[in-house]
Amino acid sequence: MSPPNPTAAAILAGGCFWCTEAAFEQITGVLDVESGYIGGDPQQADYKAVCTGTTGHAEAIRITYDPASISYEQLLAIFFDAHDPTQLNRQGADIGTQYRSAIFYADDVQKTAAEQVIAKLNAAGEFPQPIVTTLEPLSVFHRAEDYHQDYARLNPQQSYIQAVAVPKACKVREKHPGLVRD
């Protein structure tokens, strides 16, 4: 019997976690996507507290993936297409530090990869403004309440999902067709 394939994790914050979760759930090699909170006071990691914008947390997703099927750099490319990394502490109408664009790196390899991807995108002028995504060391990830998990998939007709999450997921499908599940 062969050992199971090792998995890896990436924790990314790109605004509302419903939207980033929807963008990544369709990707080949992504095994699981969990919505949660990271980067703030570990005693106040719940939706009500995080929504105040005073806990220091970001709404984020933890992506468990198969590194034999998709690379960390490919996940970062999708991440930058799934939100606007040039907006400081907001995504569209969602405003506050809890909606910041951030990469929570687990080690120097992830940090260096993120720095290189950001430098490449900025140098190529991929966005009309410089990327403001922060690189933050991995801290405690708090899984969001159950009703936030798989929210877009379970509530496809909800107006916010239709107006915000679906267009982001479609953009990812268009820009990364080779990485989208059949």
Task: List the catalytic residues.
Answer: 16
CB atoms within 10 A of CB 80: 23
Report d(CA 35, CA 61) in Å as an integer: 5
Strand order in the sheet with 134-137: 134-137, 101-105, 8-14, 58-65, 30-38, 142-143
Pairing of strands 30-38, 142-143: antiparallel
How would you label 58-71 residue by residue, b for 16+ Cβ within 10 Å and e otherwise?
bbbbbbebeeeebe
